Amino acid sequence: MSELDEAWAAALAEAEQRARLTGRGDVAEYLALRNSNDLLRKAGIDWLTTSFTNIAGDANRAGASIQLANTDSHRFRIGTSTMVGRLVSLTFGVRQLLVEAGWPRVPRDGIVRGGGLAAAHVRHVGIRRADEELLLSRSASGSPQWTSVTRGPRPFHESDIHRHLEILLDRHR
């Protein structure tokens, strides 16, 4: 978590406490929901990006030579909205796989379509038919769950990450 994220979480917690002390239960409930959603967003994005990174690392240990790069505060478009989050770039020779995940941070950025908490793109540069758009939402158990908008709606699992890496490594058939 960055210093800005930590400061934001502390400010939200303080505002929630002030709202409760002044009898503003409605504001306190909103701030508690906002904090809960932010934690789900971070957990979901961490799982997605870490999973891609770890599976690429496994492929590298088996001899693949995938180059990895991470970028925070990355801005990308989904529909007419701008998401802000993380970018993981995986490069294998001339092939490149980009994993972008985030959510709108200010009102002018727009919204996450479909009522989701966050959105992601898994993009294969030059192989558009292999691209996949994802939506993060709260599962029935309350945990974060990625769903494929492109291939579904259906849950997005680690096996899907393996499939994307097989495409990057040109091993899909």
pLDDT in tens, 73-88: 999 999 899 999 999 9
Residue 1 lies inside a defined structural domain of this protein: no
CA dihedral of residues 165, 157, 115, 9 (deg, nearest 10)? -90
Query: Range of 63's domain?
Result: 43-168
Binned at pLDDT 50, 70 and 90, residue 16 comes out as low
Residue 151 lies inside a defined structural domain of this protein: yes
pLDDT recorded at residue 38: 83
pLDDT recorded at residue 151: 86
d(C-alpha 65, C-alpha 73), whole Å: 26
Residue 17 lies inside a defined structural domain of this protein: no
d(C-alpha 35, C-alpha 87), whole Å: 23
Domain count, the chain: 1
d(C-alpha 72, C-alpha 50), whole Å: 13
pTM: 0.81
Residue 136: what are its φ and ψ, rounded to 5°?
A: -100, 130
As a whole number of Å, the CA-based R_g of the chain is: 18
